[in-house]
Structure 1
Amino acid sequence: MTGEPTEVRCLLMRGGTSKGAYFLADDLPEDPAARDDLLLRIMGSPDPQQIDGLGGAHPLTSKVAVVSVPDDDPAADVDYLFLQVAVDTVEVSDRQNCGNLLAGVGPFAVERGLVAASGAHTSVRIRMLNTGDLATATFPTPDGRVDYTGTAQISGVPGTAAPVVIEFAPGTAPLLPTGRARDVIAGTSVTCVDNGMPTVLIPADALGLTGRETPRELEADATVRDRLERIRVEAGPLMGLGDVRGTTVPKLSLLSPPAHGGAVTTRTFIPHRCHTSIGVLGAAGVAAGLRVAGGIAEGIARLPAHGDRLRIEHPTGFLDIETGVGTGADGTPSVSRTAVVRTARKIFDGTVFPRSGQAAPTAGPSPQGDADDSPAR
């Protein structure tokens, strides 16, 4: 697309425990800088409240999926580019995947006619352009249309919906990007993993925490926030990510013993806000990390005697995920399988009208609501 669009076709969808705006790539400018500026204005950034756009004043509700038909990959039906739109800064990042919005990509592809429904259930093979990884999403399509209703329930989302089963093809990146099961970073013993999302696993008690604190309590603790950021910044180069001070990866997950019969309790930072649940790919990283011999999860996690399924506890419930970890040809741990059940729901399908002009900081301070309304930095 060329020129400055004054209106853009858009589908707003909840995917997993996130919410985002889904676009066809052809409906957005080809130039990445022009595209990002447009998306900032569509989402209402930069503004802590995103009052003039679609964003919901939180990283979990300020997300974008850009979908297209690949012309060079017979292994995929559609390409999916995830973009994280910052809430209160002029920033759009493509440095990570989002497994939650991924749950809506298959249904969106059918809605837009990129993939034809094929019987009672349709499977869509998705290439995640951020990393090149592949996933297959399977969801109900009776009568040739996506059916969003069903009995599947996921923690962090009210009500029930149709299940979207997502199976991830094993990635090419090493599970242990530093080559070690443990690293000492900023004086803290951690395990760095990448199972679709670069993630640093940290024992909660190493930070003087129980691991059961609420997201609000953790975000209000300036000492914890500063220490986590030091760990994140030092982990970046070790994980092959370079200088991460201006990016949203790696994520950080605090681990503590399970409280409700699961495998582990988590508190995940994305990277500065504490997730009210946990992302799909973040959970995939945690689940794989729990099975790494010599990792920091030893003595914390309670692994089942049989099977690949693990229950990852988080602030609003749990996420069940199946992850198999074996040994690669080089003798290092490698992931053989990752699968998860998510849900998605179409909220709005129509036309969005972006704010005119270029995205720029607001002229003055925005009125603030209570503490939960304001992004913690």
Structure 2
Amino acid sequence: MNDLLAIPCVLMRGGTSKGPFFLARDLPADTRERDRILLSVMGSGHPLQIDGIGGGNPVTSKVAIVGPPSIPGADVDYLFAQVRVDQQIVDTSPNCGNMLAAVGPFAIEAGLVPARRGTTLVRIYNVNTGKLIDAEVPTPDGVVSYLGDAAIDGVPGRAAPIALTFMDAAGARTGQLFPTGKPVDVIDGVAVTCIDCAMPMMLIEAAAIGASGFETAAELNADRQLLERLETLRIAAGERMGLGDVRNQVTPKPVLISRPNSGGDINVRYFMPHQCHPSLATTGAVGIATACITDGTVASLLVGARKPPLVLSIEHPSGQLNVKLHERDGKIVAGILRTARRLFDGQVFAKPVTQLGCAA
């Protein structure tokens, strides 16, 4: 028997992200020990994550931890961890809506939620944000189906549709839709909207920092001056939002917005936060769409007055993502269609905690 730790694991694609899914019972209860294990599993601290199963990119260096519900009304708990590629840092402050798309199928197949014939509703409590999200998972014949005709931009081919409904996404981290108390702030001469809806973000009109908003992700990632400018603004926005020093956090996310050119309602470039997302985060889409329908934000000033119910189409580097918005009990409810796929299951191996360095 080898001296590595063998941990049950399922590798899954959720939306436009990918990463290992674990049952909470299979990881240490102690947060520091858990994070050390995750760093070893993913191979963080190396640009290629060569000594782990991470993919060398923020969208493939994500982890989902799923377990029994901790609150009434939920079916499962879901804790998301963004594991940094280049540094040994595990950040559990944000949610990830793309990985969220695979939580329902994983929970059903792990025996946490009984499958129904036709469609199974899984009520997911996101531990990171304290919010509930409904996932409708196709389960014909009482088993999860991954095959279907749904397509999402940023993922090749077609798959079974998974409908996600964010019941009340406002104030996911700070408890307020606008943590600074207003829809627009001026930071270093730049008008920004600091919004906390599914994901804390800082929205900026691309032209305000010398960008067109239509650059490819690769072009933006190569523009060191622009990335440094965004990081300076992001750090200042984090302080104003009450998030403290965000240098080692992945929130707030910087988002460049501009007018659409492919029939959508708005065009965006979403950062994670130090690289441009190849498409768009699901949680980011919820927050951006909410900003578009809220008076006074940089997004609403760009797109014009919009009020729910409506479907808002967001253009991104890989295509478009639609968000369906309506009001329920005075709160905005956002719906998004995603897909997921089970890629591999078995055991992943980690170095024993005693042989690992400290997680930041």
- Same fold per superposition (TM over 0.5): yes
Q: Deviations over 1:55-97 (max 9, x none)?
A: 0000100100000002x41210000000011112111010100
Contact 1:110 1:116 in 2 (8 A): yes
How far apart, in 1, do the equivalents of 2:310 and 2:4 lie?
48
Residues 52 and 183 from structure 1, CA distance in 2 versus in 1: closer, same or farther, beyond 3 angstroms? Answer: same
Q: Deviations over 1:116-175 (max 9, x none)?
A: 101111000000000100001001111221000000000000000000000011145322
Q: Residue deviations 1:309-356, cap 9 Å, x none?
A: 10100001010011347996xxxxxx4211100000000011111245
Q: Distance in 1 between matches of 2:288 and 2:249?
A: 20
Q: 1:299: how far off?
A: 4.6
CA distance, structure 2, for counterparts of residue 299 and residue 293 of structure 1: 8
Query: Structure 1 residue 298: deviation in Å?
Result: 3.9
Gaps of 5+ in 1: 329-334, 362-377
Q: How does 1:152-231 map to 2 (within 5 A)?
A: 152-171=150-169, 173-231=175-233
SS state of the match for residue 297, structure 1?
helix
Q: Could you tell me how far 1:306 is from its partner in structure 2?
A: 7.2
Paired with 2:244 and 2:287, the residues of 1 have a C-alpha distance of: 20
Q: Which residue of 1 aligns with 2:340?
A: 344
Query: In the alignment, residue 87 of structure 1 is paired with which amino acid?
Result: V
2:100 corresponds to which residue? 102
In the superposition, the TM-score normalised over structure 1's length comes to 0.89
Shift in Å at residue 300 of structure 1?
Answer: 2.5
Tell me the distance in 2 between the aligned counterparts of 1:198 and 1:327.
Answer: 23
| Cα distance change, pair 169–260 in 1 and its aligned pair in 2 (3 A) | same
Q: Matches of residues 223-242 of structure 1 in structure 2 within 5 Å?
A: 223-242=225-244
Matched, 1:275 2:277: yes
Tell me the matched-pair count.
Answer: 351
Range with bigger deviation, 351-360 or 9-18 = 351-360
| Deviation at residue 303 of structure 1 after TM alignment | 6.6
Partner of residue 366, structure 1: none
Q: In the alignment, which of 288, 291, 294 is matched to residue 289 of structure 1?
A: 291
Is the contact made by 1:263 and 1:303 (CA closer than 8 Å) also made in structure 2? Answer: no
- Residues 264 and 302 of structure 1 are in contact (CA less than 8 Å); yes or no, is this contact kept in structure 2? no
The one-letter code of the counterpart of 2:241 is M
Return the offset for 1:288.
0.6
CA drift at 1:244: 0.7
Q: Percent identity?
A: 49
- Structure 1 segments (4+ residues) deviating >3 Å: 302-307, 324-328, 355-361
**Cα contact 1:46–1:360 (8 A) shared by 2:** no
* Among candidates 138, 145, 150, match of residue 136 of structure 2: 138
Query: Which runs of structure 2 are paired with 1:238-257 in the superposition (5 Å)?
Result: 238-257=240-259
When normalised by structure 2's length, the TM-score is: 0.93
Which whole-Å CA distance do the structure 1 matches of 2:328 and 2:140 have between them?
Answer: 38
Q: Does 1:62 pair with 2:58? A: no
Deviating more after overlay: 168-177 vs 288-297: 168-177
In 2, Cα distance between the equivalents of 1:159 and 1:214? 22
Please give the secondary structure, in 1, of the residue aligned with 2:298: coil
Q: Take 2:356 and 2:276, find their aligned partners in 1: how far apart are those partners?
A: 26
Alignment of 1:91-130 (within 5 A): 91-130=89-128
Question: Residues 274, 31 of structure 1: CA spacing in aligned structure 2 closer, same or farther, 3 A cutoff?
Answer: same
Query: Cα offset for 1:305?
Result: 8.0
Tell me if 1:353 matches 2:349: yes
Equivalent position amino acid for 1:340 in 2:
I
CA deviation after TM superposition for structure 1 residue 302, in Å: 5.9
Query: C-alpha separation between the residues in 1 aligned to 2:228 and 2:328?
Result: 35
Structure 2 gap ranges (5+): none
Residue 22 of structure 2: aligned partner: 23
Match of 1:369 in 2: none
- The equivalent of 1:259 in structure 2 is 261
CA distance in 2, matches of 1:236, 1:7: 38
TM-superposed CA distance for 1:54, in Å, is: 0.9
Report the Cα distance in structure 2 between the residues aligned to 1:56 and 1:342, rounded to whole angstroms: 21
Alpha-carbon deviations, 1:209-229, whole Å to 9, x = none?
110011111111121111101
Q: How far apart, in 2, do the equivalents of 1:68 and 1:147 lie?
A: 21
**Equivalents in 2 of 1:18, 1:9: separation in Å?**
20
Report what 2:36 is aligned to: 37
Q: 1:111 and 1:358 mapped to 2: Cα distance?
A: 33
Once the two structures are TM-superposed, the CA of residue 194 in structure 1 deviates from its matched residue by 1.2
Distance 2:290 2:246 in 1: 23
- CA displacement at 1:237 relative to structure 2: 1.8
